[in-house]
């Protein structure tokens, strides 16, 4: 009885303290392909939880047997997993996710949200890929994931430090989902835009007021007599629609510069490839 009570007390304490041995339940890692041991998952989860807390950006990882169980392309499957993981609550909305699909040996590295997109540019993501693909090529999953997470954290720290340097007190420290997005532009609106805002508001006010003023005078001379045409009062004797000629115009729309990434739907952006 005593032993049983002791065991139960320990279990309760473990649940209460959320010991990393249960980190398999965290939203940061979804290891459906069972590439990691429990200890490895716990260790990685701790790093990811710290990034979420300190840097307000989610760093997520997912492994699957095949991306085809989720969607038709690796990137779309990664987006679906991202939504699934971030819906578990109490995690940052913006973030980065790495997905490995084991049967096809496809990976997808995606970001979600303007903050994550600003941090994880194409160059940053390519550098991260260079690091972890080296290990994945040798089936070194834990090391590959560790480098992925530490590279992601480094990129976030570098970004925040650069923003702090540039904006000083105007920068609010860390990205907060409650604060309006795009922190880098919080105080920067060009004078021309202010002028356009004021000019536009004044123009709308003038139009509205003139329309109200016109409504004060309702007596106007009639210019038409449509109401006095009886039913069947219009008889056509000539009704001709003749095609005469065709003209063709070509407008050239030059493509804007692409950084090489592909845009997903609904705020996602990412890269895919083979490992």
Partner 1 sequence: MAVQVTNYTCPACTAPLQFSAETGKLQCEYCMSSFTVEEIELHYGEANAKAAEATPDAHAQTMYDELWGEDADKMRFYSCPACGAELICDETTAATSCPYCSNPTVVPGQFAGVRRPDYVIPFKLTKDDAMEALKNHCKGKVLLPKAFRTEHHVQEIKGVYVPFWLFDGEADADVKYTATRSTSIHRGDDEIITTHHYAIHRAGTVQFHGIPVDGSTKMPDEYMDAIEPYDYDELKPFAMAYLPGFLADKFDVDANKSFLRAQERIRNSAYDAMRDTVGFYETLIPISSHADISCGDTRYALMPVWMLNTKYKGKDYLFAVNGQTGKAVGALPVSWGRFWAWFAGISVGLASLASLLLLYM
- Smaller CB separation from partner 1, 230 or 265: 230
Judged by CB under 8 A, the residue of 227, 257, 265, 266 near partner 1 is 227
Binding of partner 1 by 3 (CB under 8 A): no
Q: CB under 8 A: which stretch of 9-17, 69-77, 83-91, 249-257 binds partner 1?
A: 249-257
Judged by CB under 8 A, the residue of 72, 178, 238, 257 near partner 1 is 238
Q: CB under 8 A: which stretch of 33-41, 70-78, 115-123, 229-237 binds partner 1?
A: 229-237
Binding of partner 1 by 211 (CB under 8 A): no
What is the distance between the alpha carbons of residues 28 and 41, in angstroms, rounded to a whole number?
10
Q: Running DSSP on this structure, what letter comes out for residue 95?
A: E
What is the distance between the alpha carbons of residues 262 and 117, in angstroms, rounded to a whole number?
12
On whether the CB atoms of residues 152 and 95 are closer than 8 A, the answer is no
Secondary structure class of 262 (helix, strand, coil)? strand
Total residues at the site for partner 1 (CB under 8 A)? 57
Secondary structure class of 270 (helix, strand, coil)? strand
- Write down the least CB distance from residue 215 to partner 1, Å: 7
Q: Which residue has the tokens 């106007």?
A: 220
Binding of partner 1 by 226 (CB under 8 A): yes
Instruction: Let me know if 82 is exposed, middle or buried by CB neighbors in 10 A (0-12, 13-18, 19+).
Output: buried
Binding of partner 1 by 246 (CB under 8 A): yes
- Smaller CB separation from partner 1, 87 or 236: 236
What is the distance between the alpha carbons of residues 171 and 178, in angstroms, rounded to a whole number?
15
Radius of gyration of the chain (CA): 30
Binding of partner 1 by 173 (CB under 8 A): no
- Smaller CB separation from partner 1, 230 or 266: 230
Structure tokens, 33: 């392909």
Q: Which residue has the tokens 């340097």?
A: 165
Binding of partner 1 by 195 (CB under 8 A): no
Structure tokens, 46: 């701790």
Binding of partner 1 by 2 (CB under 8 A): no
Judged by CB under 8 A, the residue of 2, 3, 90, 255 near partner 1 is 255
- Smaller CB separation from partner 1, 72 or 244: 244
The overall longest dimension of the chain from CA atoms, in Å, is: 109
Binding of partner 1 by 205 (CB under 8 A): yes
Q: How many CB atoms lie within 10 A of CB 104?
A: 15
What is the distance between the alpha carbons of residues 136 and 144, in angstroms, rounded to a whole number?
6
- Write down the least CB distance from residue 33 to partner 1, Å: 41
Q: How many residues does the chain have?
A: 275
On whether the CB atoms of residues 272 and 108 are closer than 8 A, the answer is yes
- Smaller CB separation from partner 1, 21 or 195: 195
Binding of partner 1 by 197 (CB under 8 A): yes
Binding of partner 1 by 186 (CB under 8 A): yes
- Smaller CB separation from partner 1, 11 or 209: 209
Binding site for partner 1 (CB under 8 A): 180, 182, 186, 189, 193-194, 197-198, 200-202, 204-206, 208-209, 212-213, 215-230, 233-255
């Amino acid at each position: 009885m005593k032993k049983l009570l002791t065991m139960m007390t320990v279990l309760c304490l473990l649940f209460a303290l959320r010991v990393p041995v249960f980190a398999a339940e965290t939203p940061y890692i979804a290891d459906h392909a069972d590439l990691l041991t429990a200890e490895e998952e716990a260790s990685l989860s701790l790093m990811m939880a710290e990034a979420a807390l300190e840097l307000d950006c989610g760093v997520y990882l997912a492994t699957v047997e095949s991306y085809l169980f989720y969607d038709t392309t690796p990137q779309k499957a990664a987006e679906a997993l991202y939504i699934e993981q971030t819906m578990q609550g109490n995690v940052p909305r913006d973030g980065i996710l790495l997905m490995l699909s084991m049967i096809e040996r496809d990976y997808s590295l995606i970001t979600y949200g303007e903050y994550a997109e600003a941090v994880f540019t194409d160059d940053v993501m390519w550098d991260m890929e260079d690091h972890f693909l080296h290990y994945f090529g040798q089936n070194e999953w834990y090391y590959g994931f560790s480098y992925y997470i530490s590279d992601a954290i480094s990129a976030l720290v570098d970004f925040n430090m650069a923003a702090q340097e540039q904006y000083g007190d105007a920068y609010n420290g860390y990205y907060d989902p409650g604060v309006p997005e795009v922190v880098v532009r919080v105080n920067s609106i060009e004078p021309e835009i202010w002028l356009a805002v004021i000019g536009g508001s004044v123009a709308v006010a003038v139009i509205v007021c003139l329309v109200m003023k016109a409504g004060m005078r309702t007596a106007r001379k009639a210019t038409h007599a449509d109401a006095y045409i009886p039913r069947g009062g219009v008889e056509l004797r000539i009704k001709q629609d003749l095609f005469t000629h065709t003209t063709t115009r070509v407008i050239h729309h030059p493509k804007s510069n692409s950084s090489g990434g592909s845009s997903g739907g609904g705020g996602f952006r990412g890269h895919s490839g083979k490992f």
